[in-house]
Structure 1
Amino acid sequence: MKESKLFGIYAHPVHHSMSPLMHNTAFSYLELPYYYQAFDIPPEAIEQAIEAMRLLHIGGVNVSIPLKEKVLPLLDEVDAEARLIGAVNTIVREENGLLKGYNTDGAGYVQSLIAETGIVLSSTTALILGAGGAAKGIAVYLLKQGCSRIFVSNRNQEKAIELVRQLEAYIAENTLLGKVEALPWESVEEKLPAFSLLINTTPVGMWPKVEETPIQLELLAPNTIVSDIVYNPLKTAFLAEAERRGAKIHTGLGMFIYQGALAFELFTGQKAPIKQMKEAVLNHLQQGG
C-alpha cells in the first residue's frame, strides 16, 4: 500500500483555486491515499512555506500568482525549461528529499489551444497581455511550436522589454524562426486588427472581480482567436465581449486541466485521469462555483 502524502497549492489569494477539487478527484479516482490542500501564502512568507515543505514532508505543491518567480532561488534544483522560463508552477519533493521545480503552464496551454481552436501557429501573429510567469511559459511554448510572431504588452513596460530580451535569447539559442517585440500598453487597443491571436495572461477578470477586462476590444478584428487563462469564471467578461465581436474564444479551463495533469504526473508518476479532472472542475464552474 502506498504511503499517505500531502500535496497542495501555494498562492495569494488562494480561496478561488479549484486545484484541490481537481487533484483530489484524481487521487480518489485512482484510489491513491493522497490529499491536496490550498495554502494562502503571501509573498513575504514564501521562504517559510518552502521550509514547511521540507519539515512536513509535503509531496509536492503547485505554485500560482504571485509566487512563480519568487520560489526559484529557494529550491534545490530547477528543471532546465523552468529555469529558462524564469518561473516555477510545480514543486516536487524527490525521493532524496530535495525540492525540484518545474513549469507545466506553457505546455498545458499550447496543448489545449491547438486542440480546441485548430490554430496554425506558423501563420499566427500573437499578442500576449502580461509579462509574468504564465506569459513566459506560454510564449516559450508558442515559439517551440512555430508561432511566427509574438508581441508582449504589460502595464509595466520594462517587464515586457525584459521578457522580450529573454525570448530573443531563447530563439537564438534554439535557432527558431519566430520574432518577438514589446508593444507599449497604451498602443494595444489601436493595434488590435494586426493580431490573429490575443492572449490575456493577467489576473484581470478573475473571480470575484468578474466584471473587469484588461483592455477594450472595439477594434478587434472578426475571427481573431481570443484566449484568457483565467478559468473562474469559465467565460470571462473579456471573452464574452470578444465573442460578441465575432471572435473565436478559448477559455482558461483547458490550460488549467492540462497543466494540472502534467503536474499530477510529476507528483505521482502515474498518468492523470484527465477526463475525470475536467468533469469535476467543469461541473463545479457550471454550478456557479
Structure 2
Amino acid sequence: MTDRYAVFGHPIGHSKSPRIHALFATQTGQNLSYTAHDVPAENFDHALDAFFASGGKGINCTVPLKELAHGRADILSERAERAKAVNTLAVDEDGRLYGDNTDGVGLLRDLTVNLGLALQNRRILLLGAGGASRGILQPLLAEQPERLFVANRTVEKAIQLAGEFDDLGPVTGVGFDALSGRQFDLILNATAASLSGDLPPLPAGVLAPGGVCYDLAYGNQPTAFVRWGQEHGAARSVDGLGMLVEQAAEAFYLWRKLRPETGPVIALLDRERSLAA
C-alpha cells in the first residue's frame, strides 16, 4: 500500500517538493507518493477534508495557505503556535490533525550546517514582516544574535511582529529609512519582491564587510536579492534552495520517523537548475 502525501498551494506549478520527496523516498526505501495540488485559499477546507478522507497521510502547505492550516490543526507544535502558521500537517493515531512549522529549522540547518555560519553575537537584518518572517524568528533568536532588526515598508507591521517575539531576544522593528548608518553581518530577504525583480530600498553600506546575503526565495536564475548581494561585496550570496530541502526533510521525518540525507539532494537539485538555466 502506497502512502499518499501532497503539497497544497496557489500557484504550485513551480514547486520542487514532489521531486524532493521522491528523492527522499528512494533514498530511505519508503513506499509513498507525493503530489502537488493547486489549491486557492477559498478551496482549502474542502481540499483538505477530501484529501484526508480519501486516506491521505500528510500535506505541506505553502502560499497562501499556512495561516489557514494553522486554524485547521487540532494540535500545534510549539514552533507552529509561535509562528501562527503551519506548513506541515499529519494525522495522528487518534485521527487528529497535528500542525507543525518546519521553515525555521530548515533555514537554521541550511545557514549553520550547510553554509557553516555562526549566528551568535552577529547582527542580523530580516527583510519583510509577513508570514515567511514569522516562521523563522523564533529559531533565529534562539541562536543568540547580538541584535536582530526586522525592516518592512509598513513600519507598523515590523514593530508589531518584533513585539510578538521580543521575549525571546533582542529584536526591533523598523522602516527602511532607519537602516542608514547601520551594518549587518547577515541579511535575510523574506519578501517575495526579488522574484519579480524588485528589491527593498536598502541604503548603501548596510552589508558589513564579509557579510552574507540569503534570499528565502529560490529559482533557476539568481534572484534580484542574490544579485544585489553579489554586487555589494557579500562573502556569500545564496538563495533558499537549501532551506527548501531542509524543511522538507523535517516534514519527512515528522511523517516517516526517518531523516533523509539532504546534502546529495541539494547538490542534485542545484545541478539540475544549472542545466535548466
Whole-Å separation in 2 of the counterparts to 1:142 and 1:234:
27
Counterpart in the other structure of 1:247: 234
Q: How many residues align?
A: 275
For 1:271, the aligned partner's letter is: R
Q: Are 1:277 and 2:265 counterparts?
A: yes
Q: Deviations over 1:119-139 (max 9, x none)?
A: 332221111111223212221
The aligned counterpart of 1:174 is: none
Partner of 2:69: 71
Q: Spell out the pairing of 1:1-289 with structure 2 (5 A cutoff).
A: 3-169=1-167, 171=168, 178-188=169-179, 190-191=180-181, 193-206=182-195, 209=196, 211-216=197-202, 218-221=204-207, 222-233=209-220, 235-248=222-235, 249-288=237-276
- Quote the RMSD (CA, aligned, Å): 2.0
Q: Where do 5+ consecutive residues of structure 1 fail to align?
A: 172-177
Tell me by how many angstroms 1:102 deviates.
Answer: 0.5
2:176–2:201 CA contact under 8 A, matched in 1: no
Taking the aligned partners of 1:202 and 1:233, their CA distance within structure 2 comes to 18
Partners in 1 of 2:201 and 2:8 — Cα distance?
28
1-structure distance, mates of 2:166, 2:13: 37
1:186 CA drift (Å): 4.6
Structure 1 residues 154 and 53: CA distance shift in structure 2, 3 A: farther
Q: Write the letter of the residue equivalent to 2:253.
A: E
Helix, strand or coil at the partner of 1:70: helix
TM-score (norm 2): 0.91
Report if the CA contact (8 A) 2:220-2:274 is conserved: no
Q: What residue in structure 2 maps to residue 175 of structure 1? A: none
Which stretch has the larger CA shift, 4-13 or 115-124?
Answer: 115-124
User: Mean Cα displacement is larger for which, 155-164 or 222-231?
Assistant: 155-164
Gaps of 5+ in 2: none
Which digits, 9 at most, give the CA deviation of each residue in 1:172-203, with x for residues without a partner? xxxxxx31111114544x35x42221110112
Cα distance in 1 for residues equivalent to 2:221 and 2:86: 24
Distance 1:96 1:280 in 2: 38
Residues 77 and 165 of structure 1: CA distance in aligned 2, closer, same or farther (over 3 Å): same
* Cα distance in structure 2, aligned partners of 1:109 and 1:278: 13
